[in-house]
Amino acid sequence: MTRNVLTCAKCGGNDFEVSYGTDCSRDEKGNENWELALVCNHCGYLTTVARTRGYKAEIEPVN
């Protein structure tokens, strides 16, 4: 099993907190799809946006 660890682009920290839900929509199966902003707990930098689709999460860089 592969484990991916997110690291902050600014400070290299790996401890994140969900800051806010930016958008919610529903797919054809009725699953809620959220866009979530993740903030680094070390320096406060907005590092990634997680897009959830059903039970999967996609991570994209903001900057």
Residue in the structure block whose two tokens are 């790996």: 14
Evaluate if residue 2 carries a pLDDT over 80.
Answer: no
DSSP 37-60: EEEETTT--EEEEEEEETTEEEEE
What separation in angstroms does the CA of 28 have from each of 45, 56, 60?
34, 15, 23
Mean pLDDT of the chain: 73
Q: How far is CA 58 from its chain centroid?
A: 7
pLDDT at 59: 60
Whole-angstrom distance, CA of residue 25 vs CA of residue 35: 9
Q: Where in the chain are the domains?
A: 16-61
* pLDDT confidence bin for 7, thresholds 50/70/90: confident
Report field, pTM of the whole predicted structure over 0.75: no
